[in-house]
Structure formats: structure tokens, C-alpha cells
């Protein structure tokens, strides 16, 4: 109850007390009347104090509920959103087994997107492509292989873990590589097997003609003996090109080169 409400109810009590006073004035002597007035005043004061106390408690409860709602809202708007069982707010800790479960979730989601792509082909556009490009801030046709990778991690709520951003929201393979390097997550192809290349890592593909990383995908399987790995890639074609039209899988060799440069590097996500 608000202060105004308490006072209004108190005024009603006073009115009743005054009416009682008028009635009793014709029956009792002045001592009885004074006693009635004093009792009425004390009762009124206790009533108002109780009402204001209830109001304060209600306000405190409402404030607590609002605070809890604010926390829930912050979690739901954190990178990755509320899906997947872990609210990815910097500082939340995942155990190695939980990280492995998240990587498996990334792989499963990537596979579930196979066949989706551009409409029409080679347009870098269409409902699916438009949606994933929009998430990384692009509202026009553009290369979308990295947008596909970001979408896989976003859908699996695995963009950020233990205070570290694994994958940034960008459509640029080179920007993602630069972030990984600065974060200590970029792994050279020559070190990949030794560092535990596994499904759920991100493959980056070098393009010598552009002198930068220009294609990417999700690692979905690794054969250390054969030194090969399988990927799920967006914006590719049957030949494994970087300018295709759909989400497809490919098998690639870890040691391949593009000119004098290693063809692949990886972003460690474990």
C-alpha cells in the first residue's frame, strides 16, 4: 500500500472515531470521552505504521523481483543468448567436459545446416544467407562463410567461455584470424595435431592471391594418421571453393600449401 492509501484509510478511522465521540458525548462524562479519543489515536497511529510497513515490504519485494528480472534479461542478451544450458557471460566457467559438449553441439548444428544456401545460386543472398549475414551486421549480399561459422557458435551458445571470446561477430576471415592470434587461439597447421586438433575447431584457409585468410569452416572430423580433416563450410561448392552457394562438407589435407604459405590454420576452441 502507498503512503497516500494508508493516510486515506487512516482518515476513515478518524471519521469513525469522531462520530463515536459525538455519540458518546451525550452518554459518558468527559473522562470517558478523553480516554476514547486517546485509544482511537493510538490505534490510528499503529494502523498507519503497519500499513506503511506493509507498503515498504511490498516495494522491497518488487525491487528484488525487478533485479532478478534484470539479471535474467542480461543473461538472455549476452553473446550466444540463453539456449544450450549455459549463459555465456564473461566469468562463467565451463569444465573440459562441458567444453567438449559445446564443441559437439557446434558440430551437430553445422551438419544440420548442410544443403542450405543462396537463392538464387551464386548471389550471396536469399533468406538463409540474409539471416546469418544480418547477425554479423551486414545487410547486403556478401561472402558468408564466416557468417556461417559465427552462426554455428551463436546457435550453440559458445561464442564466449570463461571470460574469453572464442569467436567474434564478423564476416571477415582475416579479422577472425587476427582476433584468434591476439587471444592466443590461432594454431598453425604444423602444430595442429600436436595441439589436439578436434571437431569443433575452426578451419581458416589462406588465399595467396589476396594475401589473407579468405575462407573458413567448422572442423567436424579429424584423422591424425592420414593427417586429414573433414569440414562443414558455408559459401562453398563441390570443388571446395571459397565462392560457392551452399553449406557442404569437404575433406582437406592438413599439410597443403598455397604457394609458399601454409593453406590452413585453425582456431582452437577448447
Q: 192-248, pLDDT tens digit by residue? A: 999 999 999 999 999 999 999 999 999 999 999 999 999 999 999 999 999 999 999
23 alpha-carbon distance from chain centroid: 69
pLDDT of residue 65: 43
pLDDT of residue 218: 98
Q: Which residue has the higher pLDDT, 65 or 75?
A: 65
pLDDT grade for 93, boundaries at 50, 70 and 90? confident
- Separation CA 18–CA 11 (nearest Å): 10
Which residues contact residue 44 at a Cβ distance below 8 angstroms, ignoring those fewer than 6 apart? 10, 13, 14, 17
* Domain boundaries defined on the chain: 3-76, 86-267
SS3 233: strand
Q: In which band, very low, low, confident or very high, does the pLDDT at 162 lie, cut at 50, 70 and 90?
A: confident
CB neighbourhood size of 247 (10 A) = 25
Count the neighbouring beta carbons within 10 Å of the beta carbon of residue 90: 12
In the prediction, which pLDDT does 166 show? Answer: 96
Question: Any idea which of 41-45, 106-110, 186-190, 219-223 has the lowest mean pLDDT?
Answer: 41-45
The CA distance from 54 to 9, in Å, is 14
Contact 213, 177 (CB under 8 A): yes
Residue 167 three-state SS: coil
Residue 20 has pLDDT above 60, yes or no: no
Mean pLDDT of the chain: 80
Q: What is the mean pLDDT of residues 138-155?
A: 98
Which pTM value belongs to this model?
0.68
How far apart (Å, rounded) are the C-alpha atoms in residues 160 and 169? 11
Greatest mean pLDDT range, 17-31, 55-69, 242-256: 242-256
CATH number assigned to the domain covering 86-267: 3.90.1720
Q: Which pLDDT score is estimated for 183?
A: 97
Cα 215 to Cα 243: distance, rounded to the nearest angstrom? 9
Residue 240 has a pLDDT of 96
**Cα distance between residue 202 and residue 167, in whole Å:** 9
Q: Identify which of 116, 198, 115, 110 has the alpha carbon closest to the alpha carbon of residue 156.
A: 110
Amino acid at each position: 500500500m502507498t503512503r497516500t492509501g494508508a493516510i486515506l484509510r487512516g482518515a476513515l478511522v478518524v471519521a469513525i472515531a469522531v462520530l463515536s465521540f459525538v455519540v458518546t458525548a451525550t452518554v459518558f462524562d468527559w473522562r470517558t470521552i478523553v480516554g476514547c479519543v486517546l485509544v482511537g489515536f493510538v490505534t490510528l497511529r499503529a494502523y498507519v505504521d503497519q500499513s506503511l510497513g506493509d507498503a515498504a515490504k511490498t516495494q522491497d519485494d518488487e525491487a528484488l523481483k525487478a533485479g532478478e528480472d534484470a539479471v535474467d534479461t542480461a543473461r538472455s542478451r549476452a553473446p550466444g543468448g540463453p539456449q544450450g544450458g549455459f549463459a555465456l557471460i564473461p566469468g562463467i566457467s565451463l569444465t573440459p567436459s562441458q567444453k567438449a559438449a559445446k564443441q559437439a553441439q557446434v558440430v551437430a548444428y553445422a551438419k544440420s545446416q548442410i544443403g542450405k544456401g543462396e537463392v538464387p545460386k551464386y548471389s550471396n543472398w536469399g533468406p538463409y544467407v540474409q539471416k546469418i549475414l544480418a547477425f554479423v551486421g551486414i545487410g547486403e549480399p556478401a561472402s558468408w562463410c564466416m557468417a556461417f561459422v559465427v552462426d554455428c557458435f551463436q546457435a550453440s551458445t559458445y561464442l564466449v567461455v570463461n571470460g574469453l571470446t572464442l569467436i567474434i561477430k564478423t564476416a571477415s576471415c582475416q579479422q577472425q584470424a587476427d582476433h584468434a592470434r591476439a587471444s592466443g587461439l590461432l594454431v598453425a597447421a604444423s602444430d595442429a595435431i600436436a595441439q589436439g586438433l578436434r571437431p569443433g575447431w575452426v578451419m581458416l584457409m589462406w588465399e595467396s592471391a589476396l594475401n589473407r585468410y579468405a575462407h573458413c569452416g567448422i572442423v567436424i572430423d579429424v584423422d591424425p594418421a592420414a593427417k586429414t580433416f573433414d569440414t562443414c563450410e558455408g559459401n562453398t561448392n563441390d570443388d571446395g571453393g571459397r565462392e560457392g552457394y551452399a553449406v557442404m562438407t569437404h575433406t582437406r589435407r592438413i599439410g597443403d600449401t598455397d604457394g609458399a604459405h601454409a593453406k590452413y590454420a585453425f582456431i582452437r576452441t577448447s
